[in-house]
Structure 1
Amino acid sequence: MTLETQFLTMFTMIAFGVYIGVAYITFKRIALWWADHIIFRYLFELFFWIVQAVLLFFVLYVINEGIVRFYVFIALLCGYAMFKALFEQLYRRLLERILFYLAAIFRFLFRCIRLLLINPLKWIITAVLFTLYRIVMMLLKLLNFLLLIILYPFRHLFLLIFRLVPEKRKKYFYPILNFFSKIKWRKK
């Protein structure tokens, strides 16, 4: 390995140490969203460090064919320490501002989607259901009217037959008539 490759590896690992500091601060800030779920917290933490290790060894493979030396870890530690000492407070403020603006953008997009898509869809569905309800009610009234017209002659026929029945036999019809007289018909 040439001296140039070693310097490139060292500076890359210092930059990667700064990146790990940025990624870890970002991960910890976003991890507050699922802090109540301890299983998610541990799984995401494990996944985060696995991804960082894979990225680290991929960068090492690209830079110096994957050769790991002691100065690689020292350079990583120096980069992380440089981030903690020089950039952490500035990055935290910047991260909070970015998250604030992203949340505002997502709230705005959610309101737009709700106002432009969901509410009109609700209104259309309500109008269609109301129209269908009114049509069904009109059809039921029409059916009721047609039944009254159709059954009207049968009613008179039944009354005529009932008058023709002898008095001794009428006593068998009275329980049936009493039952039907207790039914309350609702008029609209």
Structure 2
Amino acid sequence: MTLQVQFVTMGMMFLGGLSLGGLFDLYRVLAGQLKAPRYAYYLLDVFFWIVGTLLVFKLLYESNLGQVRMFIFIGLLAGVLLYFLIFSATVIQIILWLIRFTKAAIRVIKRIVEIFVITPVIWLYRAVVIFLGFLLAIAIFLYKVMLQLLYPVWRLLIWLIRPLGRWLHIPVWVKKSGQTIATWLRRLF
């Protein structure tokens, strides 16, 4: 391994340490904002370390084909320490601002969807219900008018058929059903 490869590897591990520090602050702030059950934090810890390990080994493989030396750990440690001394507070503030901005954007999007989608759908539904109710009222009115207009015709038909019933010996149940219909029509009007 040449000296140039060692310096590139040391620089990559230093950047990897900075990245791990940023990743840890991101994880720490997001985990603090979550209202999750306790077991979820254990899963998040495992996920953080898997991502961090994959990041470091990817950088290590890209810089020197994955050879592990002592200066690699020194570079990682130096990067993490520098990150926490200089950048941590600023990065945490940026992450918190991004979280607030995202929450505000979500609230605005929800409100826009409520105003431009949900409210018109509700008003359209109400208008359709009112219109259908109006049509139903008209249909009931026309039905009653029709029954009132047909009632004299029905009475005339019963008056004309009654003598035939005596001559034809119409069964009793037919007579009763005719009387029942006539009674029902009288009640209706």
Question: Shorter-chain TM-score category?
Answer: 0.7 to 0.9
Structure 1 residues 1-188: aligned runs within 5 Å: 1-155=1-155
Please provide the CA RMSD for this pair: 3.1
Distance 2:159 2:32 in 1: 82
Query: Retained in 2: the 8 A contact 1:35–1:41?
Result: no
Partner deviation per Cα, 1:139-169 (whole Å, 9 max, x = no partner): 23323332343344335666896xxx9xxx9
The Cα shift of 1:52 comes to: 2.1
Partner deviation per Cα, 1:50-95 (whole Å, 9 max, x = no partner): 1222222122221211222232222212211222222222222222
Task: Give the ranges of 4+ consecutive aligned residues of structure 1 lying more than 6 Å apart after TM superposition.
Answer: none
Percent of matched pairs sharing the same residue = 27
Partner deviation per Cα, 1:7-41 (whole Å, 9 max, x = no partner): 11111111111111111111221223433323433
Query: Retained in 1: the 8 A contact 2:18–2:79?
Result: yes
Query: Retained in 1: the 8 A contact 2:16–2:55?
Result: no
Query: Retained in 1: the 8 A contact 2:10–2:75?
Result: yes
Give unpaired runs (5+ residues) of structure 1. none
Distance 2:159 2:43 in 1: 83
TM-score norm. by structure 2 comes to 0.73
Give unpaired runs (5+ residues) of structure 2. 167-171
Distance 1:37 1:44 in 2: 11
1:15 partner amino acid: L
TM-score norm. by structure 1 comes to 0.73
Distance 1:75 1:49 in 2: 18
1:85 partner amino acid: L
Secondary structure at 1:111's aligned position in 2? helix
Query: Retained in 1: the 8 A contact 2:60–2:66?
Result: yes
